[in-house]
Amino acid sequence: MQDKIERVLISREEIQAKIAELGEQISKDYAGKNLQLICVLKGAVVFLADLMRQISVPVEIDFMAVSSYGADTKTSGIVRILKDLEGSIAHKHCLIVEDIIDSGLTLKYLKENLESRQPASVKIVTLLDKPERRRVNITPDYCGFTIPDEFVVGYGLDFAEQYRSLPDICVLAE
């Protein structure tokens, strides 16, 4: 598996430091509010686990699974909900926890879908953002790292279900 890794883009230490910063800012912004974290499976689960431990306000968590990639490195542009939320988000402050924003198609669809459910608010936190790949107008409210247009794996991100367990964010060799 390691022979397919070109290089480490973001180290585990950099990731943890950034998550601590994000948790502190989110805690300030949601002070006095209950927060519903909505984790986008599967990639964001590692980020969610570390992030929620850095947030000092009460949090509830729920999960959604959506797909626009399959086993490819490029989005198909067609978003499918594979697993929906278990509970209602009406009147709740929701924060979508995403691993990476690439084209933005999946996240735009997801945000609009959640906003139609009458939450108090819907914001986005992403660990990684690739703005040069954006095909729709969507911007995260909280962002860990802006990265170049390279295919990355590790820290929950995969290629064909491989590499999720790597502790660093790495560039996959072509």
Q: Which residues are catalytic?
A: 102
**β-strand 5-10 against 169-172: which pairing, if any?**
antiparallel
Cα–Cα distance between 75 and 152 in angstroms, integer?
Answer: 14
Helix 12-29 × helix 45-52 angle, to 10°: 60
Would you call 23 exposed, middle or buried from its count of C-beta atoms within 10 A (0-12, 13-18, 19+)? buried
- Structure letter (DSSP) for residue 162: B
